[in-house]
Amino acid sequence: MRILITGGAGFLGSHLADRLIEKGNEVIVVDNFFTGSKRNVEHLIGNPRFELIRHDVTFPLFIEVDAIYNLASPASPVHYQRDPVQTIKTNVIGAVNMLGLAKRLKVPIFQASTSEVYGDPEVHPQPESYWGRVNTIGPRACYDEGKRAAETLFFDYQRQHGVKIRVARIFNTYGPRMAADDGRVVSNFIVQALRGEDITIYGDGSQTRSFCYVDDLVAGFMKMMESDKPLLGPINLGNPGEFTMLELAQQVIEITGSKSQLKFMPLPQDDPKQRQPDITKAKAELGWEPKVDLRKGLEKTINYFSTVV
């Protein structure tokens, strides 16, 4: 198959490109490099089944493909708050453009949605049926509401035009090729530990997250696209193992052998206190669940960062 990945030079997109090419597909990566990096896909340049196009998805793209993975969007607060207007445009206008392409070509399209659609949840763990608790005018809204609007568009295109859609709600994911400056907790802790700096913990460290290793997540993406169902999603993809920020920091310090100390800072506005996926639906509909435990995944991620920090 000839497969388009928007945002394909990013952390998740580059790993997806690797897996799809390994399976014998042709992959076209589209990225404007707002947060993606050529370094993430440089090992694929020269491969006859790989093509890289610099393009912003807020503008129409005319291309012939057999399937579309729409991953274009900054995904960490540091990056999506740097240009909030561009963030919401990428998520909404980009979705319109990619759905239009899928409609014209009559091909399936995958949407990388997010657990951020649940906001700071009152339900724990979060099932797909939960509508969320999002501040529509807060500093995170450009991303949260952009992704929520994109989901609306996907389901409207499915109902109105019969577009074959897949919508995955992605929970915290980590692994090699994360940007060192993306401000997300795993990369922050690892980089600070490797540099011997204080590890910054916001709040008292009791807030929780669930961390999914990138290989597990990409396997979930591909299972969704390989399904013959006309409509699939939204489906939570993430690891239900729940850890506090203090537990994560302690594991990182132990694995790196760092002498870093913990430094506590005020909790950012609208930062969720809990985040854990209910993956009952993923197990039932996809036969998918994560396999890599946190310690093993952290060891692989730390090995990567030790070569780039």
Among 118, 143, 174, 213, the one annotated catalytic: 143
**143 in active site:** yes
Residue 169's Cβ-count burial label (10 Å; 0-12, 13-18, 19+) is buried
Determine the Cα–Cα distance for residues 93 and 150; give it in Å rounded to an integer.
9
Q: Express each pLDDT in 27-84 by its tens digit.
A: 999 999 999 999 999 999 999 999 999 999 999 999 999 999 999 999 888 889 999 9
pLDDT at 269: 80
- Confirm if 116 and 145 have CB atoms less than 8 A apart: no
Structure tokens at 42: 């440089």
CA–CA distance, 194 with 9 (Å, rounded to integer): 25
User: Does 95 score more than 80 pLDDT?
Assistant: yes
Per-residue model confidence (pLDDT) at position 182:
85
Q: Does the pLDDT at position 239 exceed 80?
A: yes
2-18 residue pLDDT tens: 999 999 999 999 999 99
Q: What is the mean pLDDT of residues 101-112?
A: 98
Give strand pairing partners of 263: 200
Going by C-alpha positions, the residue among 193, 190, 204, 305 that lies closest to residue 260 is 193
Alpha helices (H) along the chain: 11-22, 77-80, 84-105, 141-161, 185-195, 214-226, 245-256, 280-286, 294-308
So what's the pLDDT on residue 216? 98
299: alpha, beta or left, given left = phi > 0 and alpha = psi -120 to 50? alpha
- Residue 271, pLDDT above cutoff 80: no
Enclosing H/E stretch for 113: strand 109-114
Map tokens 């537990």 to a residue: 247
The answer to whether the CB of 81 falls within 8 A of the CB of 16 is no
Q: What is the pTM of this model?
A: 0.94
Residue 275 banded pLDDT, cuts 50, 70, 90: confident
The confidence score (pLDDT) of residue 302 equals: 98
pLDDT given at position 204: 92
Give the pair of three-digit tokens for residue 90: 């990428």
Residue 21 has pLDDT above 90, yes or no: yes
Residue 242 pairs in a beta bridge with 210
Q: Tell me the percentage of the chain whose pLDDT exceeds 90.
A: 90
The residue among 83, 77, 58 whose CA lies nearest residue 6 is: 58
Tell me, which fold does domain 2-177+211-238+276-291 have in CATH? Rossmann fold (3.40.50)
pLDDT in tens, 191-220: 999 999 999 999 999 998 999 999 999 999
